[in-house]
Amino acid sequence: MTATSYAVQPGDSLWSIAQQATSRTAIDAAAYWAELVRLNREAVGNQHRLDRPGTMVALPDPHLL
């Protein structure tokens, strides 16, 4: 799966990133969220949180999910 990078902005959450990346359905956003967590486990930790603006996260290609 191809991934690009994104710098976390203040107020971002994995869910908000997933919603912005996929404009189809909540099910698509949920699948994207799960892939975000998988790709960024080290950056988001067990709590799945984005605590530091500027943190780089890998974004999966929504068309490949």
| % of the chain beyond a pLDDT of 70 | 94
DSSP 16-40: HHHHHH--S-HHHHHHHHHHHHHHT
List the chain domain ranges: 3-64
pLDDT in tens, 5-28: 999 999 999 999 999 888 778 888
Q: Angle 49-50-51 (CA atoms, 0-180°, nearest 5)?
A: 100
Q: Angle 55-44-42 (CA atoms, 0-180°, nearest 5)?
A: 90
What is the C-alpha separation between 35 and 58, in angstroms, rounded? 10
Q: Which two tokens stand for residue 51?
A: 């605590």
**What is the value of pTM for the model shown?**
0.81
The pLDDT assigned to 1 comes to: 46
Average pLDDT along the chain: 87
pLDDT in tens, 48-57: 788 889 999 9
CATH topology of domain 3-64: Membrane-bound Lytic Murein Transglycosylase D; Chain A (3.10.350)
